[in-house]
Copies of this chain bind each other. A is one copy, B any other.
Amino acid sequence: MVGAVTIEEVARVAGVSRSTVSRVVNGSTAVSPEALDAVRQAIDALNYVPNRAARSLASSRTLAVAVIIPEDVHRFFGDPFFASIVEGINATIAASDYVLTLAIASNDPADKMIGYVRSGAIDGAIIVSHHTGDHFVERIAAAVPVVFGGRPAASAGTAYFVDVDNTRGARDAVEYLIGQGHRSIATITGPQTMGAAVDRLRGYRDALAAAGLRPGQVADGDFTAEGGAAAMRSILAQGTPDAVFVASDLMARGALGVLEAAGLRVPDDVAVVGYDDSAVATSVSPMLTTMRQPSFEQGNRMASVLLALLAGEEPPRATIMRTELILRESA
């Protein structure tokens, strides 16, 4: 950016002062139509773009927000659930004055991520997936306003978050299976360090308990396709259930492969319900019956809450979104 056009040159060309140019750039109303016009023309002619650093230094705002990716990059990128959320966030942020950035925090020995945030590089952050152990999250939250995707395990009560009702979603899914006549229902969960996984397991247990059924087999599938396959194998090793509630579509895909390899028909021998209604759900055979999470909308809401915070408003701390069972072939 050496030798770039400055506000001073724009002012000279437009025949006004720096202050007036600044007013135009920042959308102040107290500018005469003539001055407004002159400045706009000068900006176009010179192809002027305000220097971000100078702006941020003078105003102590950056007009940038970041999605922090604490996950392992591979998991984040491989999961269509995150893609939808990011798309939702992006859609809302793109319509605002802010710029959106994704920041990778993993593989970050020197706390560079924290330094980045604390150095005033962004005005606010959205943190989507976070394990309970991530205490670096608290340090980010100490520096800038943060909105979480999913209820954060720690700092409950004071944090802003947008979550889906995982417990209820899981309960609904399992109740559907019970309603279909299944009695021996296993589950493949996500890692129990993640709130969503914990809640879904609870919903599963609640539904069984409410129906007076014995708890079924529980295996952790780590929210990956491979983990789902491994979990399914470990369940089959101890007996074949009527049905399996799988806490993500990606894991369900892995499980489906294992069931097929074992010669079990879905849904006739074993019914399968997934979670997410991501693109995966319709790309497998049989297509998944699954709990739809409104991921795109969740992204929208997270972005809206963050923008409200940055605007000095007081948005609700908790936003809970409903899930919906999508019936397809697997159950």
Which residues of A pack against B, CB within 8 Å?
1-2, 4, 49-57, 60, 62, 64, 66, 73-74, 76-80, 82-84, 86-87, 90-91, 94, 99-104, 106-109, 112-113, 115-116, 118-121, 143-144, 225-226, 254, 257, 261, 279, 283, 285
> Closest CB of chain B to A17's CB: distance in Å?
21
Cross-chain contact B77 with A2 (CB below 8 angstroms): no
Known: A57-B53, A102-B104, A121-B64. A83 touches B94 (CB 8 A): no
> Closest CB of chain B to A115's CB: distance in Å?
5
Label chain A's interface by main secondary structure: helix
Q: Which residues of B contact A102 (CB under 8 A)?
A: 101-104
> Closest CB of chain B to A48's CB: distance in Å?
10
Q: Which residues of B contact A84 (CB under 8 A)?
A: 74
Known: A53-B53, A53-B56, A102-B101. A108 touches B121 (CB 8 A): no
Q: Which residues of B contact A120 (CB under 8 A)?
A: 1, 4, 51-53
Further pairs besides A50-B119, A52-B119: 20, Cβ < 8 Å:
A1-B60, A1-B120, A1-B143, A2-B60, A49-B115, A51-B57, A52-B120, A53-B62, A57-B57, A74-B84, A77-B79, A77-B80, A77-B82, A78-B78, A86-B104, A90-B104, A94-B112, A101-B102, A102-B104, A226-B283
Q: How far is the CA of A289 from the CA of B107 in the complex (A)?
A: 31
- A73's contact among B60, B86, B118, by CB below 8 Å, is which? B86
Q: Which residues of B contact A53 (CB under 8 A)?
A: 52-57, 62, 120
Q: How far is the CA of A116 from the CA of B63 in the complex (A)?
A: 10
Chain B residue at minimal CB-CB distance from A282 = B226
Cross-chain contact A57 with B60 (CB below 8 angstroms): no
Known: A4-B120, A60-B1, A102-B102. A94 touches B74 (CB 8 A): no
Cross-chain contact B115 with A104 (CB below 8 angstroms): no
Q: Which residues of B contact A94 (CB under 8 A)?
A: 107-109, 112
Cross-chain contact B73 with A99 (CB below 8 angstroms): no
> Closest CB of chain B to A263's CB: distance in Å?
14
Q: Which residues of B contact A285 (CB under 8 A)?
A: 257, 261
Q: How far is the CA of A5 from the CA of B7 in the complex (A)?
A: 29
Q: Which residues of B contact A51 (CB under 8 A)?
A: 57, 119-120
Q: Which residues of B contact A77 (CB under 8 A)?
A: 76-80, 82-83, 86
Chain B residue at minimal CB-CB distance from A109 = B94
23 A-B pairs with C-beta separation under 8 A:
A1-B60, A1-B144, A2-B60, A51-B120, A52-B116, A52-B119, A53-B62, A53-B120, A54-B57, A66-B101, A73-B83, A74-B80, A76-B77, A77-B80, A78-B78, A90-B107, A91-B107, A94-B107, A94-B109, A99-B116, A99-B121, A225-B283, A254-B283
